[in-house]
Structure 1
Amino acid sequence: MRVQIVLFDGFDPLDAVAPYEVLYAGGTASGGAVTVELVTAEGPRPVAAGIGGLVLQATAALDPDRADLILVPGAAGRLEEGEEGPDELVHVLLARALETELPALLKAAKDDPGVTLASVCGGSILLALAGLLEGRRATTHHSGLDVLATTGVHAVDARVVDDGDLVTAAGVTSGLDLGLHLLEREVGPQIAHAVETLFAHERRGIVWRDQGPAPATF
């Protein structure tokens, strides 16, 4: 499984680094069955996260033809002077990302039946604002579920939602659970268990899928 994790200016670092470490460890545990790289729409470059001045180096350009899975993080950080309202922060940063070539590249990935899209936290909102998730089932940080629903997405309040070629995760630490679920799904439970043990992290909750009977109202 070839994984590309997308960076953009103002990305949330844990959204990207948590699944990166899990998937990288999965590649080691599986003898190379998983590869993972950091990419941008523009190509190799240093990318400033939205928190603490952290800069990560993207090593390649986002290229759906070279990926089996493309993962999009959310955004975080402070608004610039003159921009008001913490509730608008994610929208400001994601809107800037949407002004790049990123939406077109993500659409190409969505249209490729061999590529799975994944996201952590506000990454699903970025995908939704790009017009790529209408009618799909997805999750995001609990504070953004209403926003997600306004884009035509069936918003699900779950830690990880598996909708086939779209797998989304909720708040930032859920990126660990997302990575482990993807390892289990694509490589196998023994690899996922080995990485879970290495990280001393037990996954929380049940991965939500659109399967089985709907529950009665409690």
Structure 2
Amino acid sequence: MHAQIVLFDGFDPLDVVAPFEVLVAGSDAVGGELEVELVSAEGPRTVVSGSRGLTLQATARLDPAKPGYVIVPGAAGPIEGDPDEGVETIPVLLARFGETEAVPLIRRAFEEPDVTVATVCGGSLALAMAGLLEGRHANTHHLGVDVLEATGAIPVRARVVDDGDLVTAGGVTSGLDLALHLLDRSYGPRVAIAVEELFAYERRGTVWTDTGREPKPT
């Protein structure tokens, strides 16, 4: 099984590093069965984040046919500013993602029965603005929920939302919870708890799925 974390120009480093660390620890716990790698739509390259020029190295091109997970982070940068004055805001960076080769590759990933697409924070907004989440249950950073809804997605205010072949998480630190849920989903709670203990971190919130009874209105 593979976990491909997609880098793009302006990505948020914590959205990448948090799930990377958790998934690598999970891979160690299952004898290396999970291959975790940083990829980009363009192939191996140095990718500049949106945080003070910090860079990470993509070691391969995103392969939408590899069974496992394709994980899309959000972007880092100012929330407000004039793009005409060269201010690369988070909305600008996420919209630019939609113009890259990553979008058709992720669309192909959704067509693969053995692939689940996952997002952290604004990663779901990037996919939603590219037209990939219409009619899907999803979450994002709380500042972007209105945008998520405007694109046709169905916002769910849960830290992790599991909609089958789409798993999304809320704000930046929820990348930890997302990755632990993916480990639990693929390898079971013993592996997930072992990684929680290693990191001295317990998952937060209830993982939402489209199951169970509807609560009565209050």
TM-score normalized with structure 2 length: 0.95
Q: Percent identity?
A: 62
Query: Shift in Å at residue 23 of structure 1?
Result: 0.4
Q: Which residue of 2 aligns with 1:217?
A: 217
Cα 1:187–1:217, aligned 2, differ >3 Å: closer, same or farther? Answer: same
SS of 2:144 mapped into structure 1: helix
> Do the aligned partners of 2:81 and 2:89 also contact (CA within 8 Å) in 1?
no
- Tell me how far apart the structure 2 counterparts of residues 10 and 200 of structure 1 sit (CA, whole Å): 29
* 1:72 lines up with 2:72 in the alignment: yes
Aligned residues: 216
- Tell me how far apart the structure 2 counterparts of residues 33 and 113 of structure 1 sit (CA, whole Å): 19
Q: Which residue of 1 aligns with 2:45?
A: 45
Q: Which residue of 2 aligns with 1:2?
A: 2
> Do the aligned partners of 1:68 and 1:116 also contact (CA within 8 Å) in 2?
yes
Residue identity in the other structure for 1:150: A
Q: Which residue of 2 aligns with 1:162?
A: 162
Q: Which residue of 2 aligns with 1:202?
A: 202
Q: Which residue of 2 aligns with 1:106?
A: 106
> Do the aligned partners of 2:98 and 2:127 also contact (CA within 8 Å) in 1?
no
- Tell me how far apart the structure 2 counterparts of residues 162 and 28 of structure 1 sit (CA, whole Å): 24
Extract unaligned runs of 5+ from structure 1: none
- Tell me how far apart the structure 1 counterparts of residues 84 and 90 of structure 2 sit (CA, whole Å): 12
Query: Shift in Å at residue 90 of structure 1?
Result: 1.9
SS of 1:64 mapped into structure 2: coil
> Do the aligned partners of 1:9 and 1:49 also contact (CA within 8 Å) in 2?
yes
Residue identity in the other structure for 1:57: Q
Extract unaligned runs of 5+ from structure 2: none
Query: Shift in Å at residue 79 of structure 1?
Result: 8.1
SS of 2:197 mapped into structure 1: helix
TM alignment of 1:99-178, pairs within 5 A: 99-178=99-178
